Amino acid sequence: MAGLAASGSNPDVELLYDINGLAKDAPHWFDRVMEFVGEYGILLATVLLVLWCWLSVRRRGGEEAAPSVAALVWAPLAAGVAVLINVPIRGFVERPRPFVDHDGLEVLVSGKTDYSFVSDHATITMALAVGLFLANRKFGVVGILLALFEGFCRVYMGVHYPTDVLGGLALGTAVALLLSPLAMALLTPLTKAIERSPRAGWLIRSRKASAYDGQGAVVPGARQEAGAEERDLAA
């Protein structure tokens, strides 16, 4: 299946040249920015988005804190599982990078010698985004937009075909969604147990959030317990 997109009349190849052609017309500094963003920046931004969502969840607290944190734990795990699944897929398809079979591409990143289908970057960012969406829809939508932009960047950089990106987005989504019931069934009891722990409960909800119920009412004794914990730690 190495010749998956060998024909220049293939719409996949035509779209590759159209998007990558933007890199030829862009200033050199802009290409360097896109290179960093597409190779490292969006991955880093998505990870920071997961951490931001975690901070938001623990600050808000409530009954959904533990399941939400479980979903956030599942997000990077889903990305890892998806990348592992991609290993045999790449070996089966054996699709060369686009610059191997097609001349005239503006390749912004050198040293890419592995196979092209499917894109690991698109897979990872989309798996993280779907995990985010399971935890918080607003953060998830931002994550999905980042994943889509990651896919665009990979084609812009000349290192992937558009269908490589679509395959990665689909793989990341499928793994994160289809395995989420099992993952949540395993992770939610764990996060709930951590939530009840006097020492590790802060990982699920902040002490301030623990002093209130879901409607903002003070939970009897919660503030005193939180204060006692703080004094114990200080001692």
pLDDT tens sequence across 59-81: 887 788 899 999 999 999 999 99
Model confidence at 200, in pLDDT bands (50, 70, 90)?
Answer: confident
- DSSP code at position 212: B
What is the structure's pLDDT at 207? Answer: 67
CA distance 4 to 11: 12
Categorize the per-residue pLDDT at 98 as very low, low, confident or very high, splitting at 50, 70 and 90: very high
Listed by start position, the domains of the chain span: 11-199, 205-235
Token digits of residue 124 = 């990872």
- Residues 66 and 63: their CA atoms lie apart, in Å, by 7
What secondary structure letter does DSSP report for 102? -
For the chain, the average pLDDT equals: 85
CATH of domain 11-199: 1.20.144
| pLDDT band of 235, cuts 50, 70, 90 | very low
